[in-house]
Structure 1
């Protein structure tokens, strides 16, 4: 029996000819990731067990992004702990305020992930890098401590669901709509500890930003990882970013899948996930009249330049509705600079938006956009659990940047097609 993409990568990193679903292996990792919340716990464990060196100072990335710039004394102490560790062990890929970005937007941008690599991170959305044809998954801070010291991590080899993509998405449909549609179809446990593997002729119509968004939210379907076939889109993205050699893995023709799901991208509509689970999806036509208080456009899911471009297009000549707060958070400093150069930042400010330095901030209810009791937010983030963005009686609606921007303008959840047709007012 053949192997899936994920199984081939795991076999190679474990030094084995083949692996099968359910098998326990010990595999060599290429990159270990942590942030300002999870790394301090890992450092404590690292020191508790007497480790005094890291396996590879260029094989660790520490990104201060969740509560930075520091929101309070506790956050400052956590960042200081990371900073001291990075200095002590001369960690090459250490990113602090002014240099950092939201980790899962920053690492691909910096060329720290390549096809065929094995990436582990103490953050559940580490699965993002499967968009580049890597096996990437989240784990705990104790695992991070061990991986930083040894360069190895144990895995249970996952089985897989194959998503065979066909068709071409319509204008206002992005990777966010596709993954919300999928999660709505299979549920938040529909891919529990499985690999979500994406391929098919429709893949060529999904940009790298679309793929990064979809892989990012594989965990919201319970998946161990999400991974995309490597094609010209992937190789073009990596060109100029990655100079080291890498290996492209393709699933065998006789690879075993738990399910094969055929998905026609042309039939997907802009999709919104209602509180309080990502699986609670409705198409934009099914939403109804839902007034809102806040909009967040950003996060590791949708804070990239193409996301800002879509939002800026809708905001041009229009303003945020009265009584709505709209916060724009570019994913990295580079994305911020690009947005400035092409005029997006000016467009956002003229439209009445607030623009933030890169941070995870509001996504996890940290800072920069906390919700009060009874408030509703349309967010391009990845989770809408009870109390995720603030008060337990607040509500988060997950959507694409297009739907989020249209909603900010309309003052309620809105179809970008309709907003686009309305004459600009400023």
Structure 2
């Protein structure tokens, strides 16, 4: 099949590369000529483990190409995926659909035969109806053009595995022809008996938001339980394990930390709240989750300051991990942004290191010193704060780390180390929920 992917960002590039690896002919389209030129040169616009090799292999096989020419890319396509950004709109938190509708208008002017148009971007309920209306107004009838919802469920840092071995594939359409096309698009997964769930289009759109809001709720719940653990003398890691072994609850997303961030949870919870408000069905639980998570990030900054003692002005903190999670270079809504700002506001000098996010971090946090590794960041520091749990921070030589610091103080916001281990190496140690 010929698949056209509109948007060559995170979702579009990963999806396009994986579809081409399934054996489809894929053209990824983007308006950014510099991005397309970089892709032609084998340079990825994002960091995602394994993506560069996957792209290179399929480009070499002739199944994956890149272009800025949308009209040529759309010509003869069996399926056109819209995978452009839907950022939170300034002022009200609603998903900004400007790019989705602009892409749809361009697609409407380029379609030259029967095709299925698929919204891959995360969009509010009813967006598919509006996309369909644009296409119908352009003269494309239901007999030739169908609109389908197919939300992505990719975790940054594990996106390729998530795409090829998904928990489920959700496809929102009741059109028989569109169903047949989508079955063929996902044929390798169908043969592997991965669950493919066909629903109504609006149902599919809501599934994505409901899933992310629920996961954000789990994270926020265990973070509040962590605070209670500290107050009563319990261990949140054991509490997480104890409740996670219950199959009704599950162990995933029960790791206490500095709060959620990234490109999905903050944006999608706000968009869900706006949709619920628009339909007069307020979601009080999700509203509380958003407020608690925002407050938690600021509280983690205060936690680091408390570890420094009352006289923290002029002291230095080494921040290890700047991206919102490991195995990505994504800084969007990363907890480090709030934590570092709290430290800077208090007159603390910040030295930071991240294995992959340094360039992105420099744009967001110009007021800190960027270092070459964890030990370089810790030189002369009065405390070290582990903010993102990259693998290389799990096996630090703690004696060496303490040896280069002005004071052996560690604030472990990801519970990477055990209190006993840190104390044995001479650290005054603070963690989450223990």
TM-score, with length taken from structure 1: 0.35
Radius of gyration: which is bigger? 2
Which has the bigger relative contact order, CA under 8 A and spacing at least 6? 1
